[in-house]
Amino acid sequence: MNSATTLSQVPASSAQHRSTSSPLVLVGDCLVVALCMVIAYVLRYVLNIGVVNDVPPRPGVIEYFIHYSAGFVLFFLLAMNLKLYDSNVTASVERSTMRLVNVSLFWAIMFLGSSLILKLSPPISRLFVGYSCALMCGLLPAWRIAYLRAAKRVGFDKNLVKRVLLVGCSPEHTELVERLTSNASGTYEVVGVVTTTECAEASCRDLPIVGSLDRLDETLAELEVDAITVADLELSYDAILGIAKVCERRFVEFTLVPGEFEVFSQCLGLRMIGSQPVLGIAELPQNRIFSRIVKRVVDLVGSMVGLLITAPITPIVAFFIWKESPGPIIYRQTRMGKGGKLFTIYKFRSMKLASESDGKARWCKRDDPRRLKCGAFLRKWNIDELPQFWNVLKGDMSLVGPRPERPELIVDFLDKIPHYQSRHSVRPGMTGWAQVNGLRGDTSLEDRIQHDLQYIENWSLSLDITIQVRTLFQYKNAY
């Protein structure tokens, strides 16, 4: 590698890297937030939608201007704190949507809470805040999606497209390329592969070869590259360090395919042991103090509402179960929860009595003869899971999380399925990311675990809401 390269030789397009997104995104968000609050003002004080009792005279627009300004500043601070304008977020429809919903929900809670504490005059209307939040949750993602599609189609914002160069080939690089090229917003472009001594060119037949590792510096001088990803995990430490130094000199982002750190790889970060920085897994998003409080409050409210809503149908379900198969209505079973703690899960019985009289634990299969006639209906519509609201209320489970499994089955999984036990780092859920993607019952356990780990690693309140909504319409493999 040529160490004599100077910064003056670095192409301008490579030197100015996209650590943040286009200013157009920020300007657009600000305009949408302002529009949402104006519409909310009209809904609350002009049209009086949702107003039940007599209210004081409508405050003037000028009087509310201070509230507009305070809400505007609060949104901006939350957006910065939650890294809403990080290039990796703005370039992804999915990440942008989830992050925008999170910011909007936190904004509503903090805006209303701070107004009550500060006793602003005129007082902030709860309906005004609620309408603003609901509008933000809908209009902000819609604006971002429209912007990304327009930028992709017209090509007016090249800051949204990141050009990636792979170093080496490995079994991991195929999956990496598929993920990058299948990105819905078209925000990644794989420019080619730099071969290594351990990497045969034949294994890179699906990508263009743009150079070799010993000419990496010259290759970067010729190409406009934003990021380098090392996909050859057989490279020596010195070789990887050399690549990182070249990236630093060329202002190119340096990344590694996780390899051994494939579990919770997105949570890897620098931690301190005494005064020594070390690489380790940071605290999972769901286990942070504020996140635990928010998730538990949502679980408590959701479980109580769920129990109230489902109370009228419980006698009806019980009648059909008892009529077809007299016996216990509620089925109790031992499952493993957070930290390996065992608990009793509750379900409406959907199987015949003594369906496992041989003592062997097994999943329900399509057209399983052990099912009751009404049991097939209960399982398809997830009605058999409704008693688990009690488990959520007790704290054994959450509304959303990896589905809890039976300990007798887990014993067999631990040695066969890598990283299986990692799913027990959070509370299990009534529904989960794997289930809404059709991975339930007698399906691939490896795929199910992968989805569970993705959920744990990328948890957010908006993701939980998305999963709960999708649960109402997902019936694949529900038998």
Please write the tens of the pLDDT for every residue from 359-393. Answer: 566 666 666 777 888 878 888 788 889 999 999 99
The most distant pair of C-alpha atoms in the chain lies apart, rounded to whole Å, by 85
Contact 49, 43 (CB under 8 A): yes
What distance in Å separates the CA atoms of residue 100 and residue 207, rounded to the nearest whole number? Answer: 35
Residue 183 has pLDDT above 60, yes or no: no
Token output for 13: 């397009």
- The Cβ-side half-sphere exposure at 268, using a 13 Å CA radius, reads 14
What distance in Å separates the CA atoms of residue 255 and residue 168, rounded to the nearest whole number? Answer: 13
Mean pLDDT of the chain: 77
Number of Cβ within 10 Å of residue 32's Cβ equals 19
Strand partners, 363: none
Per-residue pLDDT averaged across 429-434, rounded?
92
Strands 398-400, 227-230: pairing kind: unpaired
Which band of pLDDT confidence, cut at 50, 70 and 90, is reported for residue 276?
low
Integer CA distances (angstroms), 173 to 165, 176, 204, 247, 458, in order? 11, 5, 9, 19, 22
Give the dihedral sign, CA 134/69/43/118. positive
Strands 276-281, 268-273: pairing kind: antiparallel
Token output for 148: 């990304």
Q: What pLDDT shows up at residue 394? A: 93
Residue the block writes with tokens 């999915």: 94
Contact 402, 438 (CB under 8 A): no
Helix residue ranges per DSSP H, 7-125 = 12-15, 23-41, 65-81, 87-90, 93-118
Check residues 75 and 186 and name the one with the higher pLDDT.
75
pTM of the model: 0.60
Q: What pLDDT shows up at residue 254? A: 83
Residue-wise pLDDT tens digits, 305-353? 999 999 999 999 999 999 888 888 998 999 999 988 999 999 998 887 7
Residue 278 has pLDDT above 80, yes or no: no
Strands 342-348, 330-336: pairing kind: antiparallel
- What percentage of the chain has pLDDT greater than the value 90? 17
DSSP 259: G
Check residues 104 and 288 and name the one with the higher pLDDT.
104
